[in-house]
């Protein structure tokens, strides 16, 4: 009798175990299948490296170019102010003014043009970062910046080369001579900055057209 009752007891215990699982909200089939399921693969940290680099590379170039445009604006403003300030503050009426030299007038005009161009590029760069493509399309902006950077760079280096002989002609210890030296130095520094901007513009243009 005991041997006959043992299978019956085991069957009851199995039924009770299934009933407890059902009451707990776990399906027996799901409990059996859960043992055979494999865990989800952990994504590799290197899978996002390519995507993140694409998103982070362009903003870094834009921010660097924006900082260079700000330096271009500052240096060109100092260059123009260095020539204009001695004329407005001269104490001696016999002291010459930069307007008496056509070469210095040319340097002053180039400095003003570089200042206006830097202000335009700075405003466009801020608009491109805040609202991309709302002012000028990216393709047009790359072509325009590449051409104008070289043009303004040529004007700056030509004005610096023209102003160097004038420094020797102007009398020493005069405000115009000091202003011309400062303006020429700032003009050459502006040329170096815009040369770097032209390299960035050429890189972005080649990346858009070739790559």
pLDDT tens, residue by residue, 131-176? 765 667 777 888 888 999 999 999 999 999 999 888 888 877 788 8
d(CA 43, CA 5): 54
Looking at residue 55, what is its pLDDT? 38
Q: How confident is the model at residue 39 (pLDDT cuts 50, 70, 90)?
A: very low
For residues 110 and 21, which has the higher predicted lDDT (pLDDT)?
A: 110
On the question of pLDDT at 101 being above 70, the answer is yes
Instruction: Give the list of residues 6+ apart from residue 20 with CB closer than 8 angstroms, or none.
Output: none
Looking at residue 35, what is its pLDDT? 45
Give 44's DSSP letter.
Answer: P
For residues 144 and 53, which has the higher predicted lDDT (pLDDT)?
A: 144
On the question of pLDDT at 79 being above 90, the answer is yes
Looking at residue 15, what is its pLDDT? 53
On the question of pLDDT at 70 being above 90, the answer is yes
Share of the chain above pLDDT 70, in %: 64
Give the least confident one: 62-66, 77-81, 89-93: 89-93
Q: How confident is the model at residue 34 (pLDDT cuts 50, 70, 90)?
A: very low
Asked if residues 121 and 135 have their Cβ atoms less than 8 Å apart, the reply is: no
On the question of pLDDT at 77 being above 90, the answer is yes
Mean of the per-residue pLDDT values for the chain? 75
* For range 43-59, the mean pLDDT: 43
Give the least confident one: 20-34, 51-65, 82-96, 123-137: 20-34
Looking at residue 61, what is its pLDDT? 79
Asked if residues 98 and 198 have their Cβ atoms less than 8 Å apart, the reply is: no
* CA distances to 5, 25, 27, 101, 161 from 11, in Å: 10, 22, 19, 114, 105
Looking at residue 147, what is its pLDDT? 92
């Amino acid at each position: 009798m005991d041997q006959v009752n043992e299978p019956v007891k085991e069957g009851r215990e199995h039924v009770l175990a299934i009933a407890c699982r059902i009451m707990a909200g776990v399906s027996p089939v799901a409990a059996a299948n859960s043992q055979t399921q494999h865990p989800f693969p952990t994504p590799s940290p290197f899978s996002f490296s390519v995507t993140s680099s694409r998103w982070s590379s362009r903003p870094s170039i834009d921010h660097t170019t924006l900082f260079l445009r700000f330096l271009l604006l500052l240096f060109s403003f100092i260059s123009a102010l260095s020539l204009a300030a001695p004329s407005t503050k001269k104490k001696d009426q016999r002291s010459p003014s930069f307007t008496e030299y056509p070469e210095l007038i040319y340097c002053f005009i180039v400095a003003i043009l570089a200042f206006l161009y830097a202000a335009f590029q700075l405003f466009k760069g801020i608009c491109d970062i805040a609202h991309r493509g709302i002012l000028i399309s990216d393709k047009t902006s790359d072509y325009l910046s590449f051409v104008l950077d070289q043009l303004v760079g040529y004007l700056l280096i030509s004005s610096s080369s023209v102003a160097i002989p004038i420094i020797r002609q102007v009398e020493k210890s005069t405000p115009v001579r000091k202003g011309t030296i400062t303006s020429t130095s700032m003009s050459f520094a502006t040329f170096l900055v815009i040369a770097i901007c032209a390299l960035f513009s050429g890189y972005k243009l080649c990346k858009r057209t070739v790559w």
